[in-house]
Amino acid sequence: MASVPARDAYVALGSNLGDSQRTLSLAIDALGSLPSTAITARSRLYRTAPWGMHEQPDFINAVVRLHTALSPHQLLDALLMIEAAAGRVRDGERWGPRTLDLDLLHMDGVVLDDPALTLPHPRIRERAFVLAPLADVAPQLELPGQGRVAELLQRVDSAGCIALD
């Protein structure tokens, strides 16, 4: 593993198939078990309406802040492995139902745009289901090219994001 400085990373979690709350809990445990990684904050769980494709069950969403020495691509690979372990099948369908969706939203000090990964995630500012839980853990976080999380949340319709805990 390449030696990189430890930094904060923000990961969005979502699920709308099976026991979503249990799936997210297990995924959070798996994130905390990654090498050179610790969970430093966790949002509340939110019930949210589906985005993109509306004819599917509501999602349960959350965000965790990790402190990790993994590189962005190492962390992305780990997220994909955790999704697969939870039964996620990537069949090319966008915005459809899923057992688990993990998105790397941002890593402090990293701006990246390559075929595998764009950081910060390019659609954070459009998505209340990401911004509401992200605001729980980092309301003052400044996302390069997008703005401050708390201000971005004020600009979207978050009425459909219902905190569960």
Catalytically active residues are 88, 98, 101, 103
Spatial separation of the C-alpha atoms in residues 165 and 25, rounded to whole Å: 13
Residue labelled with tokens 């949002």: 43
Question: Phi, psi (5° rounding) for residue 106?
Answer: -165, 145
Spatial separation of the C-alpha atoms in residues 126 and 52, rounded to whole Å: 12
Token pair listed for 117: 């990964």
Q: Are strands 118-119 and 142-143 parallel, antiparallel or unpaired?
A: unpaired
Q: What pairs with residue 2 in β-bridges? A: none
Residue labelled with tokens 């939870």: 86
DSSP-assigned states of every residue in 40-66: EEEPPPEEE--SS--SSPPEEEEEEEE
Spatial separation of the C-alpha atoms in residues 42 and 122, rounded to whole Å: 22
